[in-house]
Structure 1
């Protein structure tokens, strides 16, 4: 005879799956910190090179993102091989961020079509996966981080000089790094 779950057992199973998904996603503070620092360093580097040097191509600082992309893929692959359970929420979370990465790559390829004003678009686009990550995790700092990206996206659209790089660094500090460290800390106490 087939075992039937009681309503309480069903609720316990669902609760356990949600907690597992939340635990899996909390471990992703690594990505917020890696990409946060990469983008902050690249943008501050571009800002400082434009403002205080005569370097012909300060935008080469963005090559740091290639290194971070490789680190992300290797880290994700290794983490995926060790994963005991992968939930539907894990998959949504994973593809949400891959979607942002693909959009950023497309913008990089066709950036000249929009006058290389990529920061405003990327910061604005970053709001969605950041906010949704906060909703999935029930983690308000990421929700606020998404809102920060929208606000700074508008500000950067209105800024046509080197200050856009400074504003991007501030947005990423508030939108990725602060929530990333809070998420990492919450994982230690979970």
Structure 2
């Protein structure tokens, strides 16, 4: 027969799960947020700068994403082997970002159909990922990063494609890197 939990025990379990999810999401300092924040910001700003400088193939800078994918998966795999217990919220956050990644890949596959306006769509997808992550782990700066990315998506739709790269680079710095460094600081305080 199952034992019924008191309201205090239930609240304690929920609080513990949220705390563990925050720590898991922060990981070793928000590694994934910082990795992807830097890579995508550099690629967006680099694409913009190379286009301004008249480089014939400014999109070549996006090849930096390939090693980042391997580093991201390797780091995630390595960390998942170390964990004994994974909270439900952490599993939801991981699955959320797998779906965000799939959404980005689908968007990139259809860039010509979108008239190469993929940046606003990607900002929407990642904005949703950041907002939901922030809501799940109850960290307002992460949730606000998601809102910022969504606002940037609206603005990006109003800009020419060439200028979307500049806006996206700035939005990623503010919407990914700022929350990532915040998580890193909080993680270090807990260790």
> Does the alignment reach a TM-score above 0.5?
yes
- Native 8 Å contact 1:44 1:166 kept in 2: yes
Which residue pairs with 1:69 in the alignment?
Answer: 69
C-alpha distance 132-3 of structure 1, shift in aligned 2 (>3 A)? closer
Which residue pairs with 1:30 in the alignment?
Answer: 31
| CA deviation after TM superposition for structure 1 residue 109, in Å | 1.5
| CA deviation after TM superposition for structure 1 residue 14, in Å | 3.7
Which residue pairs with 2:18 in the alignment?
Answer: 18
> Between Structure 1 and Structure 2, how many residues are aligned?
188
Equivalent-residue separation in structure 2 for 1:35 and 1:63 (angstroms): 13
Q: How does 1:7-156 map to 2 (within 5 A)?
A: 7=6, 8-27=8-27, 29-53=30-54, 55-156=55-156
Equivalent-residue separation in structure 2 for 1:15 and 1:98 (angstroms): 25
Secondary structure, counterpart of 1:56 in structure 2: coil
- Native 8 Å contact 1:100 1:126 kept in 2: yes
Equivalent-residue separation in structure 2 for 1:10 and 1:142 (angstroms): 26
Equivalent-residue separation in structure 2 for 1:22 and 1:47 (angstroms): 34
Equivalent-residue separation in structure 2 for 1:93 and 1:42 (angstroms): 25
Equivalent-residue separation in structure 2 for 1:140 and 1:15 (angstroms): 16
Equivalent-residue separation in structure 2 for 1:3 and 1:59 (angstroms): 59
TM-score for the superposition, normalised by structure 1: 0.92
Gaps of 5+ in 1: none
Which residue pairs with 1:165 in the alignment?
Answer: 165
- Native 8 Å contact 2:19 2:137 kept in 1: no
> Greater CA deviation, 55-64 or 170-179?
55-64
TM-score for the superposition, normalised by structure 2: 0.91
Equivalent-residue separation in structure 2 for 1:161 and 1:3 (angstroms): 59
Over the residues paired in the alignment, what is the CA RMSD in angstroms? 1.7
- The runs of at least 4 consecutive aligned structure 1 residues that moved more than 6 Å come to none
> Greater CA deviation, 3-12 or 119-128?
3-12
- Native 8 Å contact 1:26 1:137 kept in 2: no
